[in-house]
Chain A
Amino acid sequence: MIGPFSIDLSVEVGGIKLRNPVMPASGTFAEGLEKVIDFNRLGALVTKTVTRELRAGNPLPRVVERPGSLINAIGIPSKGVPHFIEKIIPQYAAYDPPLVVSISAPTAEGFASLAAELTLPGVSVIEANISCPNIEEDGKAFAMRAESAEKVTRQLRSATKLPLWVKLTPNTGEIAEVARAVEGAGADAVVVANTFLSMAIDLKTFKPCLGNIMGGLSGPAIKPIVVRQVFQCAKSVKIPIIGCGGISSAEDAIEYMLAGASAVQVGTATFLQPAAMVSIIDGIEMFCLQREISSVTELVHGVVIEEADDQDLAWLSPPT
């Protein structure tokens, strides 16, 4: 192609404009990464989930690897809200990208009060990690069922004026219904998704590999499942979806966008390639340039589904 062809990488995600669609996943990002990448290149900055309760986190070992994946049971070590406000939020004040603050609580009421308290200057978005156990429902995660997800989102909505993103769990069989319930309760976007509940056992000792016995699976191995979930949610809601799960290349990110994601979060890949997010941003731009796509938003929900008389049997049809 001759002449300049400028690509607009910016996206609107749930009440906020991002300079590009790539941001870190909660719990896989901290100030240390600043030594490796320029934070000003990111679409947004996302903090590790904070809770009101002071927590020590889980017993060790906290991670175990499996082919193409990582199982973690870090827990949510938390030094509490005052520490978060005084020490963590200011760390990001000097950077341009908006700050997304991830929160969690054991009750809907707890979520709401935490969201209210963290509605502060310097905070651009509240991301509610509702994949955590709900003590009012016998420890079942809020995001497992539409009703509990709706209730907590409604309370959150009335507690903050900031854009509200709700992070879903992939462990439910009804993620599209949960996404719709969350949309109905006033969320500005959904993050699809958190980690898969999983387990690994050591064949030398017959003991679980993790101190916490079970943990959350992340990394490339989960990507096709979460791409499917983003696709299902995209058919079910109008609010933007942020895809998250196993993204380590620009191709992965684009696949998520084609399935229906307006933006993506990158987690585990950063542990293997600390500059992965920057490479992904550059790669998306290169892809758009090659395909002469002028705005990255053209990719969103760009998946081409051929109409078939019988959707379920389409794959069985003989080639014509």
Chain B
Amino acid sequence: MSLDHSSVTMQPAAAPSAPPPVPWKPSIVAEVAKVVANTAVNAEYRHLVVDCSEIAASARPGQFFQLLCPHPVGEQPFLRRPMSLYGADRTRRRVEFLYKVTGAGTRGLDTIEKGGTLDIMGPLGQGFTLDSKWRHVVAIGRGAGLATLAPLAKAAKANGTKVTAILSARRPELLVSVDIFKRHGADVVPVTDSEQTSGPGNVERILRGLIAEGRCDAFFTCGSIRLMRVQQRLAIEFGLPGQVAMEQQMACGIGLCYCCVRDFNVAGEIVNRRVCWDGPVFDLLEALP
């Protein structure tokens, strides 16, 4: 066979011919999805929208997909690339991603045109959980974390929970997900390096203010170890719960290979966990940098 992905056998779209006695159903699928849009949102990020199966479209906030990226000219990304769910619409059977072009795989993604196809695999991993008792939560993201946290906005609204989103970037024009949070009624606090508002000191000041006003029943975070540390300290100080979405290089994405492990502190004991399977969302206080 050639080294190109096109010759790798795809899962047949139809179900197997003879139905087994106890009908077995997949809850994760690899499927060829149709690309509805793949457009730049700013100098760094692209917004990718695909039509997919009902299983894929049932993805929940914090879950992710493994994308089989097309080969850009002169490069052959081999593995799938993990990408957080940015948005899901169950009725329209659609999922969205927000990705930054960084290397061979994401450069390949960037070549897909509207009407083209993309092999997506998911939904994968353990997502965020929202407690119905929480009245007001804080979401703090930076980098790809802004994409990961975005679907929380809609879910929180449905849960009757108010969100304050502290969104961090190098410069204001590189901020993403602001509109999604606003559309679902969240308070957005942009912080940036260029305006010198994104440092841990300032973010801690903002958080202490929210906690004092009773507007922080839980933390949700992704994309910055420095900001995670701030939240861990405050979570301990005020006895608040939190969840963090972690990243790690992945091969299989479904817990088979053990390449994506990280250490976690579980009640004082260091425990090894697979980010793809046990996470990517973990308890804030168990996460280690």
Residues of A within 8 A of B (CB): 27-33, 35-38, 40-41, 56-57, 60-63, 65-70, 72, 74, 77, 219-221, 223, 248-252, 269-276, 278-280, 282-283
B20 contacts the other chain (Cβ, under 8 Å)? Answer: yes
A32 touches B277 (CB 8 A): yes
Q: Bound complex: CA of A28 vs CA of B257, how far in Å?
A: 6
Total of A-B residue pairs, C-beta within 8 Å: 130
Q: Is the CB of A273 within 8 A of B11?
A: yes
For B24, list chain A residues within 8 Å (CB).
Answer: 38, 40
Shortest distance between the CB of B273 and any CB in chain A (Å): 11
In the complex, whether B26 has a CB less than 8 A from a CB of chain A is yes
Known contacts A65-B77, A273-B8; A221 and B16 CB within 8 A of each other: no
A-B pairs, 7 with minimum CB distance:
A68-B3, A32-B255, A275-B11, A65-B78, A62-B259, A67-B76, A38-B24
Q: Which residues of A contact B50 (CB under 8 A)?
A: none
Bound Cα distance from A164 to B12, whole angstroms: 35
State which of B157-165, B227-235, B236-244, B246-254 sits at the interface with chain A. Answer: B246-254
Counting CB contacts under 8 A, is B41 at the interface?
A: no
**What would 16 A/B residue contacts be, using CB atoms closer than 8 Å?**
A27-B257, A28-B252, A35-B28, A36-B254, A57-B261, A57-B272, A62-B249, A62-B258, A72-B259, A74-B258, A220-B1, A223-B1, A269-B8, A271-B80, A272-B80, A280-B9
Q: A32-B277, A220-B3, A249-B7 are in contact. Are A271 and B79 (CB under 8 A)?
A: yes
Contact B1 A274, beta carbon cutoff 8 Å: no
User: A residues within 8 A CB of B95?
Assistant: none
- Verify if B10 is at the interface (C-beta below 8 Å from A): yes
User: Does any Cβ of A come within 8 Å of B112's Cβ?
Assistant: no
B3 cross-chain contacts in A, Cβ below 8 A: 67-68, 220-221
A271's contact among B10, B77, B252, by CB below 8 Å, is which?
B252
Taking the nearest CB of chain B, how far is it from the CB of A244, in angstroms? 16
Within the complex, the shortest CB–CB distance from A81 to chain B, in Å, comes to 18
Further contacts, 6 of them, CB under 8 A, given A30-B256, A271-B80, A278-B11: A35-B28, A37-B26, A67-B76, A74-B258, A249-B8, A272-B8
Q: How far is A29 from B255 in the complex, measured between Cα atoms in Å?
A: 9
- B261 interface neighbour in A60, A69, A251, Cβ under 8 Å: A60
A112 to B121, CA, bound (A): 41
Name B254's contact: one of A41, A68, A251, A274 (CB within 8 Å): A274
B30 within 8 A of A: yes
| A257 CA / B248 CA spacing, docked (Å) | 37
Known contacts A30-B256, A250-B9, A269-B8; A35 and B272 CB within 8 A of each other: no
B256/A28 in contact, CB under 8 A: yes
A250 and chain B: residue at smallest CB distance? B9
The one of A35, A41, A62, A279 that contacts B10, using a Cβ cutoff of 8 Å: A279
Q: Which residues of B contact A28 (CB under 8 A)?
A: 252, 256-257
Residue from B5, B9, B24, B253 with most neighbouring chain A CB atoms (10 Å): B9
